[in-house]
Amino acid sequence: MTISICLIVKNEEKHLPRCLDSLKDIGDEVVIVDTGSSDGTKKAAEKYTSRIYDFKWIDDFAAARNYAFSKCSCDYIYSADADEIIDMENRDKFLKLKETLDPSTEIVQFLYTNQLEYNTAYNFDRELRPKLYKRLRSFVWEGEVHEQVRLAPVILDSDIEIIHKPGSLHSGRDFEIFRRIISNKGELEPRLLDMYMRELAVSGSDSDFVTASEYISAALEQESDADRLKDELYTMMRACRISSDREGFMKYALRALALGEVTSETAFELGEYYRMTGDEKEAGIWYYNAAHETEPSLDHRYHDEYPLRFLNNGK
């Protein structure tokens, strides 16, 4: 089979060569789509490929990736990001996969690693992610009788590891995109709402929480998913504490406690509230709950680093 190495990039002059060097000899073509770089990204890309295209940024990563995929011509497309690398061991596995992959496979998932080191918006260090896609999908009929076209793709879970090494977080950019989606469409689809709250918990500033609170407060009144409701209530607790809205804080805190299964984020936020009111003993109880009696939903640091900082040092 043949493989297109495909990336969308912006101001990745520093990271792009590292990524493409790690993929040397794996791809049969390299396709780079630049979304508006102001540094030497395109010049760096020229050392690896002549297939460099411009895409006017419209705050839509899906649109950019669709355009990039449309420029690929090989059997499979490997969708890479400039801040990823593949080490020698996994590069050899990738080359072996290229030789042996069953052509009926439509998606190959790789292990995405190194998440926690950079405080990305995930609570886990390794996860399977779809990275290699068959460019042209074949429709196959199944069933000896009452036959139907197979709709689910054929997916292979590989043990190939991708190392994520970002130079910085992109949450500020993402927050602006979330706000524009809300402004233009009036709502976020559930998956994006989950990511919005996760990125707030990981790297949101006080002003980011306050800005988000108007939308989150309206969303939680319509929420039917119990897990998402816990995250919405935590987000509102923090926004109210930041805004010194004690009545609002207690309203959302009581609703969170009434759900039964308290998250580490909610317990930690109660600790922060009581610490700010000067009740160190009550704060300690909730910090202990965050560290030892609950599980995190949005950011693992609310289960270990943050409450333990207070419990170990009293600060």
Q: Of 244, 221, 242, 243, which is closest to residue 232 (Cα–Cα)? A: 221
Q: How confident is the model at residue 118 (pLDDT cuts 50, 70, 90)?
A: low
Assign domain 171-313 to a CATH class: mainly alpha
**291 Cβ partners below 8 Å, 6+ apart?**
264, 303, 304, 307, 308, 311
* pLDDT higher than 60, residue 119: no
Residue 134 — φ and ψ, nearest 5°? Answer: -70, 130
Rounded average pLDDT over 244-273: 96
Task: Round the average pLDDT of the chain to a whole number and report it.
Answer: 92
Do residues 220 and 229 lie in contact, with contact meaning Cβ atoms separated by under 8 Å? yes
For the chain, which residues make up each domain, given as ranges?
3-164, 171-313
pLDDT in tens, 122-139: 555 688 999 999 999 889
What pLDDT is recorded for position 121? 47
**125 CB neighbour count, 10 Å cutoff:** 15
Q: How confident is the model at residue 68 (pLDDT cuts 50, 70, 90)?
A: very high
**254 CB neighbour count, 10 Å cutoff:** 10
CA–CA separation, 23 vs 52, rounded Å?
Answer: 17
pLDDT in tens, 145-185: 888 999 999 999 999 999 988 766 555 688 999 999 999 99
Q: How confident is the model at residue 17 (pLDDT cuts 50, 70, 90)?
A: very high
Do residues 298 and 235 lie in contact, with contact meaning Cβ atoms separated by under 8 Å? no
**89 Cβ partners below 8 Å, 6+ apart?**
none
What pLDDT is recorded for position 96? 97
* pLDDT higher than 80, residue 291: yes
Q: Which is more confident, 270 or 127?
A: 270
What pLDDT is recorded for position 167? 66
Instruction: For residue 263, give both structure tokens.
Output: 């998250």
Q: How confident is the model at residue 86 (pLDDT cuts 50, 70, 90)?
A: very high
**7 Cβ partners below 8 Å, 6+ apart?**
16, 19, 30, 31, 32, 33, 68, 79, 80, 81, 82
CATH number of 3-164: 3.90.550.10
What pLDDT is recorded for position 146? 81
For 146, the 3-state DSSP assignment is coil
